[in-house]
C-alpha cells in the first residue's frame, strides 16, 4: 500500500519551494481548468483510466526513485494509481489524502509581521483556490478579515494563540468563495462587519464598515481603518493596519487588478475602480505593504508563502496600474474578461444569506479557480 500525504505536508513543501513532483490523474479537462501550482512544482497529467492496464506510459517521464505525489479529485483514484506505481517498481510514491477537494479547503497560516505594539499579523493562504484571509492579534484579542468557509481553522488558531476573536470583517461581498464571516462571528460571539453598500440585500444583522470608524483590536494601537475603495463591488473597502499594511481586498492584487463585472455592473463600476487605483491608492504612502484577498498566478506566491508587495513597487510593476489612458483602462477591465467563477451567482446569494446550501453543495460550488482578477 502506498503512503498518503496530507494537504498540510504538501502545502509546506510548496511554500518552502521544495522540489515537488505531482502526477495528477484526473481527466484532462478538469486538470486544464484547475490544478496545483506554485513554489517549485512540476506537474504532469495522465488520467487514471489510461493507467489501469499499466503505468508504462508514464514510466519514461518519471524517475522511479524520485518522490511522486499522485493527486485526483477525492483521493480514491490516486490511491489506486499510487499502488500500481509501487507494483511497477516506484519506491517513493504518495497519494494526496482527500484529493483536490481537500486541497481546495486547505488553509496555510503564514506570518506576515510583528506589529508595533506586540501584536502579530498572519496571512492564511488557501493554496487550492488562491484566496487569502488575514488574522490580526494583539493583547488577547483578534480580528479575522475575509475568512474562508472553513472557520474551524481560525478558531483553532485563536485557541493556540490564546486570543479571542472579537471582530470579523469582509472587505466586500465575495463572489468567488463562500464567506465564513457571519458564522465565525456567531461562533466566537464577535461582531461581523460588512460594507453597507454591499449589504443592501443581506438577510442578517451586521455592523457597517464606515470610513473613519476605526476598529480596535486589543488595547494597543492596531487600528483597522476602513478605506472606502469601490470598483470590484460598489462597497469594497480596504483596511490599513498598524499604519503599515494595506489590505486591498479584491481591488488590487500583486500582478493584476480586480474585475468589476461579477455583479453585472462592469460599466457602472469601472469608473470607481479607476478612481480607487489611479487616485485614492496613489495618495497613500508608497511604503505600505499591499496584502490582497487573492492571488491568481503561481509566481505571486513568495518564498515562505507570503503574497504581498510594497505599494510603491506595484505602481511601478503591476501592469494594471500602468494604463494612462482612461478608455484603454475601461476596455481592459470590461472586455476579454476571463470566465466568471463557478457558481458565482449562487455564491453571492449564499453570502447574502438568501440561500443556505448544504455543506457538500457549498464545497462543490467553490471548486475550481477563483478568477477574480483582470490581467493588464
Partner 1 sequence: MSIQANKVLDAKGLACPMPIVKTKKAIKDLEPGHVIEVQATDKGSTADIEAWAESTGHHYLGTVEEEDGLKHYLRKASDVESRGENNHQKVVNLDHLQQKLDGHASVVILDVREPAEFAFGHIPDAINIPLGELSDRMDELNKNEQIYVICRTGNRSDLAAKKLSEEGYDHVTNVVPGMNAWEGTVEEQK
Here's the x/- map for partner 1, 76-115, by CB under 8 A: it reads as: xx--x-----------------------------------
| Three cell numbers, residue 138 | 494583539
Helices (H), the chain: 7-15, 28-33, 56-59, 76-87, 99-105, 152-161, 181-188, 266-275, 311-317, 326-334, 344-352, 359-366
Q: Which of 12, 30, 120, 275 binds partner 1 (CB under 8 A)?
A: 30
Q: Which of 4, 27, 223, 334 binds partner 1 (CB under 8 A)?
A: 27
What is the size of the binding site for partner 1 (CB under 8 A)? Answer: 16
Quick one: which segment of 25-33, 154-162, 183-191, 229-237 binds partner 1 (CB under 8 A)?
25-33
Nearest to 273 by CA among 251, 291, 255: 251
Choosing from 72, 93, 227, 262, which is the catalytic residue? Answer: 72
Residue 4: CB minimum distance to partner 1, A: 16
Q: Which of 6, 74, 139, 363 binds partner 1 (CB under 8 A)?
A: 74
Angle value at C-alpha 77, between 149 and 369, nearest 5 degrees = 35
Q: Does 29 bind partner 1 (CB under 8 A)?
A: yes
Helix axes 152-161, 181-188, angle to 10 degrees: 40
Residue 13: CB minimum distance to partner 1, A: 25
Q: Is 372 a catalytic residue?
A: no
Q: Does 39 bind partner 1 (CB under 8 A)?
A: no
Looking at the Cβ atoms of 33 and 159, the one nearer to partner 1 is: 33
Distances (CA, A) of 82 to 58, 60, 69, 100, 188: 12, 16, 8, 16, 41
Quick one: which segment of 22-30, 117-125, 276-284, 334-342 binds partner 1 (CB under 8 A)?
22-30
Q: Which of 5, 72, 121, 148 binds partner 1 (CB under 8 A)?
A: 72
Residue 79: CB minimum distance to partner 1, A: 9
Looking at the Cβ atoms of 25 and 241, the one nearer to partner 1 is: 25
Beta strand ranges found along the chain (DSSP E): 3-5, 19-24, 40-45, 68-71, 93-96, 108-114, 120-126, 131-138, 141-145, 164-169, 191-194, 207-208, 215-216, 223-228, 237-241, 245-249, 257-258, 289-292, 309-310, 373-374
CB 322 within 8 A of CB 260: no
| Three cell numbers, residue 297 | 498566478
Looking at the Cβ atoms of 80 and 102, the one nearer to partner 1 is: 80
Residues 47-66 binding partner 1 (CB under 8 A) are 47-50, 52
Looking at the Cβ atoms of 37 and 46, the one nearer to partner 1 is: 46
Residue 53: CB minimum distance to partner 1, A: 9
CB 232 within 8 A of CB 173: no
DSSP per position, 102-117: HHHH--EEEEEEE-TT
Q: Does 184 bind partner 1 (CB under 8 A)?
A: no
CB 215 within 8 A of CB 224: yes
Q: Does 164 bind partner 1 (CB under 8 A)?
A: no
Catalytic residue numbers, as ranges: 72
List residues near partner 1 by CB under 8 A.
27-30, 47-50, 52, 72-74, 76-77, 80, 364
Amino acid at each position: 500500500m502506498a503512503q498518503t500525504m496530507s494537504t498540510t505536508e504538501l502545502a509546506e513543501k510548496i511554500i518552502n519551494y521544495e522540489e515537488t513532483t505531482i502526477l495528477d490523474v484526473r481527466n484532462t479537462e478538469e486538470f486544464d481548468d484547475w490544478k496545483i501550482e506554485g513554489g517549485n512544482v512540476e506537474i504532469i497529467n495522465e488520467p487514471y483510466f489510461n493507467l489501469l492496464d499499466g503505468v508504462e506510459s508514464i514510466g519514461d517521464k518519471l524517475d522511479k526513485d524520485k518522490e511522486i505525489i499522485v493527486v485526483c479529485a477525492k483521493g480514491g483514484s490516486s490511491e489506486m494509481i499510487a499502488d500500481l506505481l509501487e507494483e511497477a517498481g516506484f519506491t517513493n510514491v504518495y497519494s494526496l489524502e482527500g484529493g483536490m477537494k481537500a486541497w481546495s479547503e486547505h488553509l496555510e497560516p503564514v506570518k506576515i509581521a510583528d506589529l508595533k505594539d506586540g501584536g502579530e499579523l498572519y496571512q492564511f493562504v488557501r493554496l487550492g483556490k488562491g484566496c487569502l484571509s488575514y488574522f490580526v492579534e494583539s493583547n488577547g484579542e483578534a480580528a479575522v478579515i475575509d475568512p474562508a468557509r472553513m472557520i474551524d481553522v481560525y478558531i483553532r488558531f485563536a485557541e493556540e494563540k490564546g486570543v479571542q476573536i472579537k471582530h470579523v470583517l469582509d472587505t466586500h461581498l465575495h463572489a468567488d468563495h463562500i464567506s465564513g464571516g457571519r458564522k465565525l462571528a456567531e461562533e466566537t460571539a464577535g461582531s461581523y462587519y460588512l460594507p453597507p453598500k454591499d449589504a443592501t440585500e443581506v438577510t442578517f444583522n451586521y455592523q457597517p464598515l464606515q470610513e473613519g470608524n476605526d476598529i480596535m483590536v486589543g488595547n494597543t494601537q492596531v487600528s483597522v481603518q476602513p478605506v472606502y475603495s469601490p470598483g470590484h463591488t460598489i462597497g469594497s473597502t480596504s483596511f490599513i493596519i498598524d499604519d503599515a499594511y494595506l489590505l486591498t481586498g479584491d481591488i488590487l492584487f500583486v500582478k493584476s487588478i480586480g474585475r468589476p463585472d461579477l455583479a453585472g455592473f462592469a460599466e457602472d463600476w469601472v469608473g470607481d475602480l479607476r478612481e480607487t487605483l489611479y487616485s485614492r491608492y496613489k495618495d497613500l504612502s508608497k511604503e505600505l505593504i499591499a496584502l490582497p484577498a487573492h492571488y491568481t498566478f503561481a509566481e505571486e506566491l513568495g518564498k515562505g508563502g507570503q503574497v504581498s508587495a510594497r505599494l510603491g513597487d506595484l505602481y511601478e510593476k503591476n501592469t494594471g496600474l500602468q494604463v494612462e489612458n482612461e478608455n484603454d483602462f475601461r476596455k481592459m477591465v470590461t472586455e476579454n474578461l476571463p470566465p466568471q467563477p463557478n457558481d458565482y451567482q449562487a455564491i453571492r446569494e449564499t453570502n447574502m444569506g438568501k440561500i443556505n446550501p448544504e455543506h457538500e453543495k457549498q464545497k462543490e460550488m467553490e471548486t475550481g479557480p477563483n478568477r477574480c482578477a483582470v490581467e493588464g
